Amino acid sequence: MKNRKLSLLATLLVAALVLAACPQPTPVVETVRETVIVTQVVTETEEVVVTPTPAPPVQGGVWVEGSSADATILNPILASDSASFDVLGWFFPSLLGQDPFSGAIVPTEMAHSWDVSEDGLIWTFHLQDGVMWSDGEQVTADDFKFTYDAIASDLVETPRKANLDNIESIEVLDPLTIQVTYGEVKCDALNNLGLGWLPSHLYAEDYSDVMDSPLNEEPAVSAGPFIFNEWIRDDNSTVLRNDTYWKGAPNMDGWIYKIVPDPGARLAQLQTGELDLIGVQPEQLTTVQLDANLNLHKYKDDGYSYIGLNQANPANPQAGQDEDGNLVEQDPHPILSDLAVRQAIAHALDYDAIISKVYLGQGYQIASNVLPAVGWAHDPSLQPYAFDTDMASQILDDAGWTDSDGDGVRECNGCATAEAGATLTIRLQTNAGNTTREDLGALVQDQLNGIGFDIQFEAIEFGTLVGELLGQTFDMVIIGWTGLGTDPNDDSFWHSKFDTPGSGFNFVSYQNARIDELLEQAVSVPGCATDDRAPFYHEIQKIIHDDIPYVFVTGSVGNVGYSKKFNGTNPGPWSFYHNVETWSLAE
Amino acid sequence: MTVAQADSSTLTSLAAEPQLRRKPRTYWSMALQSLRRDPVTLVAIGFLVIMALLSLLAPVIAGGIGIGPNDTNPDNAFQQPYLGPYIQWRTGLDPIRAPLMLGKSGGVPHWLGTDQLGRDQFVRLLYGGRVSLGIAFAATVLILILGVTVGTVAGFFGGVVDDLIMWFINTFVSIPGIYLLIIVTAMFKPNPVTLTIFLGLFGWFGTARLIRGNVFKVRALDFVLAAHSVGTRNARIMLQHVIPNSMPIIIVNAAIDIGVLILVESALSFLGLGIQPPTSTWGNMLNRANNFLFLRDPETEAYVALHLLVGPGLLITMTVLALYLIGDGLRDALDPMMKNIR
């Protein structure tokens, strides 16, 4: 017993040393803040995920993932739902890999390296040699070209046609070299080359059978860690170990995708061991945490909640640019165009209380628009606005918003943007039925009214709210973005060309020539190297943080509960299974 | 036969007996007397009166406690009801917990605890009662006005008028009411006034049918015929003879309607289509509490939000039950036939 402990300790130490020596992507982990009262210094400690790898790994075992929805089609260019990709993701090789922790594009899949021409338009990808389909054929550049030509074909109906936008040509230079020529440099479009490749030797050359091939239901070959075995619709899909997987055959025998529609039943089956992995709902968290057989993977997701502050007069919505692309000066919002008011709002909210009470701990404070899940572009040095009502009141006093008649509501007495005597009355809206946002609204109303605002909060029907948002007739709105993806480009929220009343997502009418310029430069860096793009996003985050077109409330959090029966799991926000071939059954 | 033949002096002495000397009894005094012998109905009426008074006095009570319905205090969210610890403190069973809780809430006693934002549950229930009860009572008045008028006209005139009205009513009744309400509340932002109007406009069909049936019966009675025969005008007959004779049905129906409307308002709020937060109603408080049903304290593993469910749930149940009991008791009291059977 003692010996085992010692050897485990030794393994851990060795593994920790090895891990410390290798350059590793920094895992996004929970930062623990503890205040040391004696010194009044806040220390931040960071957990390092240590994965002990006992040798030799135990073979066998099956991993069962529970899902609410079933796959619809197992063809990488026809599928559009996440359940389909959960299953088909095992079989098809892809050009570009994605860092499981930062979301950056990395050469871990078929392309082991690439060259980019001086002007950034011609990309030459060099492919891994010796990658085989499970029937013995080699995976080559022809499979890639076949896949993208199929998307372009008139015989194929697919939502992926947009992946070809801006691509002028795809050429196979030799079986292991692909050359892609772009019309212009758009770095956020690089992900479009990441689709799974079809096995071209099994499809008709003219793409005529892509839509209705039996392979779409039963993929015969695989170049990934698992091979398709069986798919019983609305019940389960099973896949088996691929002994010829080029990164090394997995230790486990197979993987099952089991459909369990009811969230309560999923949790129960996770606890009994029938399932090994489920997405956990916030109210189920405690149950998972209290279960000694389960791990909880809490990760920072690609969405956030915010309070949008309309910079322009809601009575007079205007487009941000005229037809020639020149900036159109906006009719400013009588209150919210005053930076002091926006700063006061940002300082008046008790973010810790909001996250712990309204979001039940399922969130984290963010400083600006690029999330930590996109690790390479996120600027961790930027500090979120601190909760400080005294400072907020002081800012309002200094800016000429004071309560001269003593009714508890401030008026404009020498303020910059409103008429003298106008009260600090602002509408705050959110969509009815979203109880979290309704609670947030009630809290924001009470906290802002506490420093002299007169907030008129109402929850309205979602369609009506979207109408007011896109129509730009609101003052303040509580809403959020989800599914922002791995690329930090979010120009549709800030660029003045997307300030188009009725349709554009820059509905807060944010207008900043420098931001427009930075957003454009950040996606047109030749080569699109993350190191070259990051400085642009750091500056963008700084400016957005200082200008406060949004009050950033919280970043969203995802929760996954999983069993401890395999060693080696190391989930990241962008992938749970990225190292599945190294997992092995715990003894 | 012996009674009839008793001599007059015996009769006079009998009449002098206080138990046997009766005032002439009117219909309403008989009903009142019947009610007095019905403790269940009396308790129900008492409960309803207390609820109505508490709701009406909500601002005064809230002022006395020192907290408004929308005053948040996130640091003190999900505080358990102060009532229990207070009693334990006054009886000396637990001298520590109550002062601790009071310290945490800044001196404000949260008698029924606080919700997820640290708002006082008791004060919110009182304010919620204003809205829930207010809407139900006001909509019932609207229902009675519409239902009694239309029902009386249909029943009194009969023929084509009745056919048209019944056709209209039957068409509307065949559409599920909750659908209609969902549609209109989606189109118009629900606030207490619009919701009252909608509930009234979509709620009078049953009442009208009920009244119409009764009017059919009444208009064939001899005194109505007599009134007709002396040339009394229709409007006068309706107001003086027909409607007063439908009064028992109207009153009983009203009591039940209020109960139903409280439930409908709760159901709409539960669907997120009723009065929107931050205004509290019993229905939307219950709806919000539902999300926290399984919320547990990670340290003690105790469920922390059950008190949020119990308050509005119990008030809705008890108020609606009270109204049904009142309706039932009134039917007994107001129905002359039922009294004879007793």
Q: What is the complex's ipTM, to 2 decimals?
A: 0.71
Query: Among partner residues B74, B186, B301, which is closest to A443 by beta-carbon distance?
Result: B74
- Long-range contacts at A10-16 (CB < 8 A, ≥ 24 apart): A11/A52, A11/A53, A11/A54, A12/A50, A12/A52, A15/A50, A15/A51, A15/A52, A15/A53, A16/A48, A16/A50
User: H helices of chain B, where?
Assistant: 2-5, 8-16, 27-36, 39-56, 58-65, 83-90, 97-104, 121-157, 159-173, 177-187, 192-201, 205-219, 222-229, 234-237, 243-270, 282-290, 306-334, 336-341
Q: Does A448 touch chain B (CB under 8 A)?
A: no
Distance from CA of B288 to the nearest CA of A (A): 7
User: H helices of A119-223, where?
Assistant: 141-152
Q: Encoding tokens for residue B104?
A: 């945490």
Q: Does A468 touch chain B (CB under 8 A)?
A: no
**pLDDT tens per residue across all 587 residues of chain A:** 445 544 444 444 344 333 333 333 333 334 444 444 444 444 455 566 666 555 678 888 999 999 988 999 999 999 888 899 999 999 999 999 999 998 888 999 999 999 999 888 999 999 999 999 999 999 999 999 999 999 999 999 888 888 888 899 999 999 999 999 999 888 888 888 989 999 999 999 999 999 989 999 999 999 999 999 999 999 999 999 999 999 999 999 999 999 998 888 899 999 999 999 999 987 788 889 888 999 999 999 899 999 999 999 999 999 999 888 889 999 999 999 999 999 999 999 999 999 988 888 889 999 999 999 999 999 999 999 999 999 999 999 999 999 988 899 999 998 888 888 899 999 999 987 788 898 899 999 999 999 999 999 988 878 888 889 999 999 999 999 988 888 999 999 999 999 999 888 999 999 999 999 999 999 999 888 899 999 999 999 999 999 999 999 999 999 999 999 999 999 988 999 999 999 998 87
Q: Does A456 touch chain B (CB under 8 A)?
A: no
Largest CA distance in chain A: 85
Q: Strand, coil or helix: what is A304? A: strand
> How far is C-alpha A272 from the chain's CA centre?
31
| Cβ–Cβ gap A432/B71 under 8 Å | no
Per CB-CB distance under 8 Å, the chain A contacts of B293 are 283
Burial A531-560 (b: 16+ CB within 10 A, else e): eebbebbbbbbebbbebbbbbbbbbbbbbb
Per CB-CB distance under 8 Å, the chain A contacts of B298 are 286, 289-290
CB pairs under 8 A between A and B: 71
Per CB-CB distance under 8 Å, the chain B contacts of A357 are 74, 77, 116-118
| Cβ–Cβ gap A458/B291 under 8 Å | no
Contact B278, A445 (CB under 8 A): yes
User: Which of A359, A461, A466, A553 best probes binding to B when mutated, by most B CB atoms within 10 angstroms?
Assistant: A461
User: Which of B72, B116, B189 best probes binding to A when mutated, by most A CB atoms within 10 angstroms?
Assistant: B72
Chain B residue with minimum CA distance to A354: B74
Chain B residue with minimum CA distance to A442: B278
Flag whether the pTM goes above 0.80.
no
The predicted pLDDT at position A48 comes to 61
Q: Determine phi and psi for B283, rounding to 5 degrees.
A: -65, -50
Could you give the CA distance from residue A37 to residue A34 in angstroms, rounded to a whole number? 9
Q: Strand, coil or helix: what is B168? A: helix
Distance from CA of A432 to the nearest CA of B (A): 7
Q: Strand, coil or helix: what is B317? A: helix
Per CB-CB distance under 8 Å, the chain B contacts of A290 are 298, 301
Could you give the CA distance from residue B261 to residue B264 in angstroms, rounded to a whole number? 5
Strand partners, A45: A32
Per CB-CB distance under 8 Å, the chain B contacts of A283 are 291-295
User: Which of B76, B115, B117 best probes binding to A when mutated, by most A CB atoms within 10 angstroms?
Assistant: B117
Contact A344, A451 (CB under 8 A): yes
Strand partners, A307: A478, A551
Cβ count near B57 (within 10 Å)? 14
Contact A446, A490 (CB under 8 A): no
Report which residue type is found at B201.
L
Chain A residue with minimum CA distance to B294: A283
Q: Strand, coil or helix: what is A440? A: helix
Query: Among partner residues A357, A435, A457, which is closest to B77 by beta-carbon distance?
Result: A357
